[in-house]
Amino acid sequence: MIVVADTSPLNYLVLIDQPNLLPALFGTVLVPQAVARELQHTRTPEKVRQWMSSAPAWLQVRSIQTGPPASLLMLDIGEREAIQLAIEVGADAVLIDDAEGRSLAESFGLPVRGTLGILEHASRLGIVDLKQAFALLEQTNFRISPELREALLRRNASAI
């Protein structure tokens, strides 16, 4: 399985010490050049920059080969390139949190997973404690409503 990741899911998984969920769930993870740059930007948390400076072999940085479809031009460059790359390589999914980006990716027929979906999937497989992962995620600037948090925990109660 090949997935393409936008910046946000990688950023948050690194911040909560769970980036290795990605190869466990998906195998190879591709990122476009723009996402690699965003993960190394000076405004990116130091922990993420350090992780990216010695990125694991399962994370592959790829260049975009085509120009963006007009419908993607309103997205930021990381989201735009992640969707473009997913289309180019025929990815099995794109990992993206931004609502507008998710909607546009789906309009191209791409399956979408966000940070919460990745954690939920891993929880169902018994490789992460969802309640603990949410507690760590809440220590970052990730935003999740209490209602959604509780609904996800109830839905996955057997995995907790």
CA distance 37 to 123: 30
Average pLDDT, the chain: 94
The pLDDT, as a whole number, for residue 7 is 97
- Kindly tell me if the per-residue pLDDT of 159 is higher than 90: no
Confidence of residue 8 (pLDDT cuts 50, 70, 90): very high
What is the rounded average pLDDT of the residues 137-155? 91
Q: What class does CATH assign to 2-116?
A: alpha beta
Q: Which of 47, 71, 61 is nearest to 4 (CA)?
A: 61
The pLDDT, as a whole number, for residue 156 is 82
Tokens matching residue 149: 């948090």
Q: Which of 57, 109, 107, 63 is nearest to 82 (CA)?
A: 63
> How does pLDDT run across 96-110, given as a tens digit for each residue?
999 999 999 999 999
For the chain, the structural domain boundaries read 2-116
The pLDDT, as a whole number, for residue 160 is 45
What is the rounded average pLDDT of the residues 77-104? 96
Q: Coil, strand or helix: which one is 90? A: coil
> How does pLDDT run across 22-81, given as a tens digit for each residue?
999 999 999 999 999 999 999 999 999 999 999 999 999 999 998 888 899 999 999 999
